[in-house]
Chain A
Amino acid sequence: MKTDRIKFLVFALVVLLIPLPLSGGYLTNVLIFVGINSVLALGLNLLLGYAGQISLGQAAFFGLGAYGSGVLTTAYAMNPWLAMIAVALCVAAFAFAIGFPVLRLKGHYLAMATLGVGVIVNIALNETVELTGGPSGLSGIPNLQVGSLTFDSDLKNYYLVWVFALGMILLSLNLVNSRFGRGLRAIHDSEVAARVMGVNARLMKVQVFTLSAFMSAIMGSLYCHVMTFISPSSFGFSMSVELLTMVVIGGLGSVYGSILGALLLTLLPEMLRTFQDYDIIVYGLLLITMTIYLPGGLAEGIPALFRRLVPVRKVTEGSDA
């Protein structure tokens, strides 16, 4: 438990120091999205990696958060912080309500149902033109403010997003190492046995689904204030698949794995500019390769690689002596 705390502190320190040498350049901008994607992937990982329940509609909650905040702060000139909280609570209530019927389903059926939720929400964002601006998007969203501090530069937004992200990562770490997290993992391993042990599987699945929606909605709100412009295409099926890829590549059932996955898959398109239109193919190939050769994801693969390298070095040291 103590080493967990130290691990988190080191991680937080790294996160907070990284932008200093970058001096607000292009990479800082990319790292903002790494922060947003980390929390989105983490929310999905709590659901998929811990409770074992798939969702192909995570982008919907992200989109609802973004559009909720976007519309309320432009058309209704609402206080952005108030809007963020109100929207996140509404999205959580929505997820809670649909969670009960949807999470009764298992496997492929659950995947289809959540996919349906994602598609319906995306169509709604596209079609309610008077409210959302439709496919051409919603612009003129204000930046967030605290007192006289306006979050209008990449560096400020980096700290804004990552403070939220670190908070949610810490809470998630607490959660997975607790009675609640054990219940989720028990449901994943054997739902029948978990229920016979008195774990209320149905309720816990809905609770974690609601939590992931809440986290996604908060990130949606932050996203719209950072970007100041949003369009429905950012919250479609391909975004849901991208999040799923981050979770699988990062490591199912690993909090830090979600962040690694988000980091890799957010940086990768930037590095592979030439693949831009074919990025979904690259994701697909990555997903296949990873599930075959590294089913535990990066969270398992990196330490394993490290362990494999360390004895090799010892052997060379021995031969030197």
Chain B
Amino acid sequence: MLSLNGIGKRFGGLTALEGISFNVGKGSITGIIGPNGAGKTTLFNVATGIYPPSCGAVLLEGKDISKLPPEGRARLGLVRTFQNIELFGKMTVLENVMVGLHTRSSSGLFACSFRMPWQMSEERRIRERAMELLDFVGIPELAAVQAGTLSFGKGRLLEIARAMALEPKILLMDEPAAGLNSSETADLADLIKRIRDLGVTVALVEHDMDLVMDICDQLVVLNLGTMLAEGTPRQIQDNPAVITAYLGEE
């Protein structure tokens, strides 16, 4: 589904990523783990087009998307959520999801200012679909609330609903469990599995090992900007290099 081929990223003299290559299998849940500063978020930023890579290529379903801007990648089905939830704080919860449906609708400046009949019916369709998505993540009662006032956990759910509105082929989630309590994390694990069951490939950066070991089919371990290991959760748990990176040497 998503392939990274020899990705490198340098910020001035600092090498943040070097020689990262792996595939995210279609329909899988892939976890990207590693200690702080390993380059996980940078890797997401490169994959979604927020930073251009210094070298290497990003392939979505075999197609090179390295040159596309974030909105172009979103249109092809590569969607992400953010570590520190990036909601549109001054808009309502429902409107946030409706922005997510931007790529699933087409009314432009003229149709919108003149309220063309097709624009009105599209608007109704967007609104209904947005409500369905709020149902899916379990916060339909918050539709009219201003997004900036949500708790972190609810904000996370909204961000997922908004990302799902794009009908992603692959959803990249940056630390989805960060800031969540244990019951919220359990609900999140369930939600991620339901997303996978809808046929969406999921890749997530995560520190919560219990969550990662529970839901991931495949793990990639980064350390200091390079790939340390790749494999199933069980293989990774027994990998001596990984244990050294996390716990330090004797």
Contacts and interface: CB of A to CB of B under 8 A. Distances in A.
Asked if A and B bind, the verdict is yes
Interface of A: 171-172, 174-175, 178-183, 185-186, 188-190, 192-201, 207, 211, 253
B99 A175 contact: no
Contact of B112 (A180, A197, A198): A180
B29 interface: no
Nearest to B74: A198
Contacts of A178: 107, 112-113, 115, 119, 123
A199 B105 CA distance: 11
Contact of B109 (A180, A182, A197, A200): A180
B126 A179 contact: yes
B218 interface: no
B79 interface: yes
Nearest to A207: B109
Given A181-B112, A190-B86, A211-B109, A197 B91 contact: no
A196 B91 contact: no
A240 to B, nearest CB: 24
A171 B88 CA distance: 24
Secondary structure call for the A interface: helix
A201 B119 contact: no
Contact of B75 (A174, A182, A198, A211): A198
B114 A171 contact: yes
A182 B91 contact: yes
B103 A189 contact: no
A251 to B, nearest CB: 13
Interface string B91-127: 1000100111011010111001111000100110010
B98 A182 contact: yes
B179 interface: no
Contacts of B192: none
A95 to B, nearest CB: 13
Contacts, number: 100
Given A179-B107, A186-B91, 10 more contacts: A172-B113, A174-B115, A178-B123, A179-B105, A181-B112, A185-B95, A186-B102, A193-B86, A197-B71, A253-B90
Contacts of A192: 50, 70, 86
Contacts of B74: 195-198
Interface centre among A171, A178, A185, A201 (most CB of B within 10 A): A178
B162 interface: yes
A82 to B, nearest CB: 21
B89 interface: yes
Contacts of A186: 88, 91, 99, 102
Interface string B161-176: 0110010000000000
Interface of B: 48, 50, 69-71, 74-75, 79-80, 82, 86-91, 95, 98-100, 102-103, 105, 107-109, 112-115, 119, 122-123, 126, 162-163, 166
A172 B82 CA distance: 32
Contacts of A190: 86-88
- Of A190, A195, A196, the most chain B CB neighbours within 10 A belong to A196
14 contacts: A171-B114, A172-B113, A175-B112, A178-B115, A179-B112, A180-B109, A185-B91, A188-B90, A189-B90, A189-B91, A192-B86, A195-B71, A196-B74, A196-B79
Contacts of A175: 109, 112-113
A203 B166 CA distance: 19
A174 B108 contact: no
Contacts of A197: 71, 74, 79, 99-100, 102-103, 162-163, 166
B219 to A, nearest CB: 25
B99 A182 contact: yes
B114 A195 contact: no
A180 B88 contact: no
Given A174-B115, A182-B91, A189-B89, A196 B80 contact: yes
A180 B95 CA distance: 12
Contacts of B122: 179
Given A172-B113, A192-B50, A199-B71, A182 B95 contact: yes
Chain A CB within 10 Å, residue with most, of B50, B108, B126:
B108
A191 to B, nearest CB: 10
A175 B75 CA distance: 23
Contacts of B166: 197-198
Contacts of B80: 196
B103 A198 contact: yes
- Can you list the 6 inter-chain pairs with the closest CB atoms, starting with the nearest? A198-B103, A178-B112, A193-B86, A198-B74, A189-B88, A171-B113
A192 B108 CA distance: 21
Contacts of B162: 197
B113 A179 contact: no
A276 B186 CA distance: 67
Contacts of A183: 99, 102
Name, among B102, B114, B115, the residue most crowded by chain A CB atoms within 10 Å (CB to CB).
Answer: B102
Contacts of A196: 48, 50, 70-71, 74, 79-80, 86
Contacts of B126: 179
